Amino acid sequence: MSDIPMHARRHYQMVDVGDKNVTRRRAIASGSIHLGEIAYPAVRRGTLPKGDPLVLAEAAGVMAAKRTGDLIPLCHPLGLDHVALAFLLDDDALRVDVFCQAATSARTGVEMEALTGVQVALLTIWDLAKQVEPKLQIDQVRLLLKEGGKSGRWIHPDGLPPLPDGFERE
C-alpha cells in the first residue's frame, strides 16, 4: 500500500448532462439498523426519550434526499417529484429495514437521493436509540432498483426483497 498525496489527486469534474433527454427516473434504496434487546422494543413502540424514531427518521430521510445535491460534491441538484420512506421491523432479528424511493423527471438519475434518504434515516434512528443502548450496527445499505434514462431498468443482482406497501416493483 502506498500513500498518494491529496494534492496529486485533485482532478474532478461534474458530468455534463445537458444533452441527455428528460425522462422519468426512479430509484429504491434500502439499509438496516440492528438494535439490541433494550432499544428495539422502544423503537417499535416509539417511546425513546427523544421521541418516536420512525416518525423522525421518515422526516429526516425526506429532507436529506431533497438536499443531496448540497451534500455530495458533483451530484446534480434535482427537483424531486416524490420521496417516500418506509420501515419494516423484524422482531426476531431486532432490526429495522429502511427503504427510500425517490422519483423525478430529469436528465440524471435519483440513486444518490434514495441512498442519502436511507442513510440519514438510519442515522436518525441511531441518534435516538444510542441513549438507551449504544451497541448498534448499520449495514446492508444498497441500491435495489433504478429506472429511467438510456440505461432503462436495473435491479440489484440479488433481486428485490419484499418491498413495503406503496413501493412499486414494476
Report yes or no on 165 lying in a domain.
no
Q: Tell me: the pLDDT tens digits for 97-126?
A: 999 999 998 887 899 999 999 999 999 999
Kindly report the pTM of this predicted structure: 0.90
Q: Which residue is catalytic, options 127, 139, 158, 165? A: 127
Q: At 4, list the grid cell.
A: 498518494
Report yes or no on 14 lying in a domain.
no
Report yes or no on 161 lying in a domain.
no
Report yes or no on 115 lying in a domain.
yes
- Check residue 138 and report its DSSP letter: E
CATH number at residue 112: 3.30.70.640
Report yes or no on 54 lying in a domain.
yes
Report yes or no on 6 lying in a domain.
no
Q: For 150, list phi and psi in degrees, rounded to 5.
A: -65, -35
Report yes or no on 145 lying in a domain.
yes
Domain range for 137 is 23-155
What confidence score (pLDDT) does residue 161 get?
Answer: 92
CA distance 164 to 65: 18
What confidence score (pLDDT) does residue 19 get?
Answer: 77
What confidence score (pLDDT) does residue 151 get?
Answer: 84
Overall number of domains in the chain: 1
Residues facing residue 100 across a β-bridge: 29, 85
Report yes or no on 107 lying in a domain.
yes
- Check residue 118 and report its DSSP letter: H
92 counts as catalytic: no
- Asked if pLDDT for residue 68 goes beyond 80, the answer is yes
